[in-house]
Structure formats: C-alpha cells, structure tokens
Chains A and B, each alone.
Chain A
Amino acid sequence: MTDKPCNLFDVGHRACGGCAAALAAKLILEAAGKNTIVVSATGCMEVFSTPYPETAWGVPWIHSLFENNSAVASGVVASLKKQGRTEKVIALGGDGATVDIGMLCISGAFERGTDFTYICYDNEAYMNTGIQRSGATPYDASTTTSPAGKCSFGNPRPKKDLPAILAAHGAPYVATASVAYPADFKKKVEKAVNIPGPCYIQVHAPCCTGWGFEGEKTIAIGKLAIETGLWVNYEMENGEVTRVKKVRRKPVEDYLTEQKRFRHLFRPKKNDGEIAKIQQIADRNAEKYGTDIVLKK
C-alpha cells in the first residue's frame, strides 16, 4: 500500500497515537480539498508533520512564526489575488499560537477583511513544549505552569472567548467544532473556505498526552466535553449565533474524572467547591447558547 499516491495529509507523521490534532489536519484537508494552501504556526501540528526534510502535507504548506501566522497568510492571499489564482488559504495554529501569541496579526488580518480561514486546533495548552497553560486552558486544569498543589487548584482563569472576539471584528463566519463530530467539523471547514472574507473555526482537540488519558479515548473525551456543556459546538454568521448542538446534559464530573489534569479535584479527597464552580461554567454555557434539550411534558 506504500506506493499509493499521497493523501492530502499523509501517513508517516509523528503525532502521538490517537492525537486529535492529527485527526483535525486530516479532516481539514478532506473538506478543503487539494486546491488549498496552508500556513502553520509552530506547535505540535507543525512539529509532528514536518520534521525536515520530511513532510506529511500533500498541499503547499508554509511554516510561519507564532506571531506572524496570519500576516504570512495575508501575504499569500494578496499574491494569489494579484496572479488571479483561486486557491483557498488556511492558517492553522494551536491555542497558544492563536489566543495568545498570534492575536495581534490575527486581529489585523480580520480587520483588513482578508479572504482566508483561520483554524485553531484547541488542545487547551502549549503541548509541544511540555503542557504550559495558555489563554485557552480551562478553569482548574493542572499544567506545568499552573500546577495543582497545596496553594493552587490548577489554572485560575476561565478560557478566553476568542470566537466572540473575532465575531466582534465583523467576521462573516465563526464556528466552534470538535474532532468528536468529524462530519460536522468537515461541513464547517467547507463552509468557511467558501465564504469570502475572514472566517474562524476553533476545533476542540483532546490531547491524550497533555490531558492524561489513553489515546483510544480521544473521541469519547471530546463527546463528553460537549455532553457536559464544557464545550459548545455552534456557528455564528455575521455576529449572530445561527446553529447550536443541543445535548441532554451530563454532570461535569463525568468529563473531569476521565483526565489526569483534573485528578486533584478528586484526590486525596473530592473538592465539591471547585467542582461546583466548573458545573457553573457549564450551566452558564448551556444558558447562553441554549444547548439543553428540553423534554416536552
């Protein structure tokens, strides 16, 4: 089978077994197709797919810095326009690359109305450098820079709402997705690359290594995030939420107990106070987006 023509995102990459970011890359290119140019910031996805001189990409792919990912993508878009070419441009970044380090250039590209799609694979920390917290790390997750211990319950701040920030830039299309729902994710990618102007997708990408679970559970964990209300899948068109995935909500504990990054909330003894605060985050999400399935009496 080795002599098969290469897939758009090909075998031989060095992601951990069961990695959601690798699955996301595969799904993105299945949806966007071969007429795509990808610009990638540093991070796991860049590192595992392109240890020089190897590359797993079957489409043109450019490595940027963290800071200038969207600026490089803007340059590619401008050049294609000048040449009258029609390739779709996708900028890819991890959560650290996106919600923290690349913010300035992302904001600039969205302000200019650049015709591109930015996709953040959100594994909720700086994984490639050893699990440091980012602005997308959830409340109370233990990371190497927000370690749980005697004086700390883990990351003290909630996730930064980047989709809302980019919607506020006037983006025509902003969506959240999860690798746990591959067909939904692919539909959103296809939609985003075909809508003119700057579009944004943030895809939840459970990381077995950084979150502490077995690689075979990647999809199951992604589903639990949605079923507990800690991750919401929605679409926003021109600033309005137009579609939301509804769920029959489970308690947040069902999600937390499956991951080592939240283990301190259950051992040596259960921390009901902190778990209640996380439940509140889920409850607020459910109310804000109207995710709860209401049974007719």
Chain B
Amino acid sequence: MALNLGCTAKPGNARDNKTGSWRVFKPEFIREKCTQCGMCTIVCPEGCISPDEDEFPVPDYDYCKGCGLCAEECPSEAIEMKKEEK
C-alpha cells in the first residue's frame, strides 16, 4: 500500500468500514414504548443512532455492531435484541 506524506488520512473515512456486518443480534426499536429520552443515543459506542423526522431514535444498521448496550440501558425497554436473519 502506498503511504501518503506523513501517513495522513481524510477525516472520518473509517465510514468505508461497514461494521454492521459484525452483527449477530439486531436491535429493534419499538416506537410505541419509546419516550425519546435519548439514552440509547448517548450510550451507543458507535455513535450510530440518530433521530428520524419524528425525533424517534434510529440506528444506522450499516454500522450497528449489535452490542446490545442501547437495549440494556433503555429505561423504557423500548429496544429488543433479535437474532439477525441474514
């Protein structure tokens, strides 16, 4: 591989690496139970959860590793981990 001068790289180009392929369990967000408290968004180590147009949290499954931290910490039990169908 050719190295750039000073081994530099463009900000955030780790996006090329779709870590969603690591997933075994998939978080399913249940809107009816969600209070939009934001806890899942805060604790996700990927930073891959963001609000949709109705302010409900949605994970980016291209990057979600399925770690389950969001489901574990959700105070309203509005996230369920389901075995991924591939």
Contacts and interface: CB of A to CB of B under 8 A. Distances in A.
Contacts of A218: 45, 69
A59 to B, nearest CB: 7
A216 interface: yes
A247 interface: no
B45 A19 contact: yes
A11 B45 contact: no
Given A18-B69, A215-B69, A216-B67, A1 B62 contact: yes
* Chain A contact residues, majority secondary structure: loop
Given A53-B1, A53-B9, A13 B14 contact: yes
Given A15-B45, A19-B45, A26-B47, A10 B12 contact: yes
A216 B68 contact: yes
A143 B42 CA distance: 31
Contact of A12 (B18, B44, B67, B72): B18
Contacts, number: 113
B64 to A, nearest CB: 9
A182 B42 CA distance: 8
Interface residues of B, number: 36
Nearest to A29: B47
A15 B14 CA distance: 12
Given A17-B65, A18-B68, A59-B11, A54 B47 contact: no
Interface residues of A, number: 38
Contacts of B67: 17-18, 215-216
Contacts of A56: 12, 14
Interface of B: 1, 3-4, 7, 9-19, 22, 42-48, 50, 60, 62-63, 65-69, 71-73, 81
10 contacts: A1-B50, A1-B60, A2-B60, A12-B17, A12-B18, A13-B14, A50-B9, A52-B3, A53-B1, A55-B12
